[in-house]
Amino acid sequence: MKPIYAFAAFAVAIATPMPALAATIDAIMYKNPQCSCCEAYAAYLEQNGFKVGIKPVNNLSQISSDAGVPADLEGCHTLMVNGYVVDGLVPVDIVKQLLTERPAISGITLAGMPTGAPGMGGEKAGTWTIYAFTKDGKAPTVYATE
């Protein structure tokens, strides 16, 4: 290969974006063994740059409680990611917002299993409220709506 062509090929290679080199976000999901939407949610996260390890457990409520999730705001699984707790089927853009902003909270939650949420079937109806919570028991606050 002539030097000018080698240089041109090198220039194109370094100027081309490389999405495959983007950092993967590691997460661990604790879920009830009988819940199937959690695997769909994990697949959704993996399609959006996460690597999710799934751990079926029989004490999900205890894990959520220990992580600071208010009992009335528990979702169907508890995800641990970069020092935060993400409980329930929180949309990936809001999870990434949390990881970028790094607020002084324990985590966020989308309570229940709303229709149309990532991992659930059906059409989204209405607005979802994603709550922030702290480990010290302070009242949950609204983190985002979608």
Cα separation of 7 and 35, whole Å? 54
Q: Worst-scoring range by mean pLDDT, 9-23, 51-65, 126-140? A: 9-23
Fold of 24-145: Glutaredoxin (3.40.30)
The burial class, CB within 10 Å (0-12 / 13-18 / 19+), for 40 is: middle
Cα separation of 77 and 109, whole Å? 10
Higher-scoring residue by pLDDT: 16, 43: 43
Provide the pairing of β-strand 50-56 with 77-81: unpaired
User: Structure pTM?
Assistant: 0.82
Cα separation of 113 and 88, whole Å? 7
Q: For 81-100, how does the pLDDT look when each residue is reduced to its tens digit (9 = 90+)?
A: 999 999 999 999 999 999 99
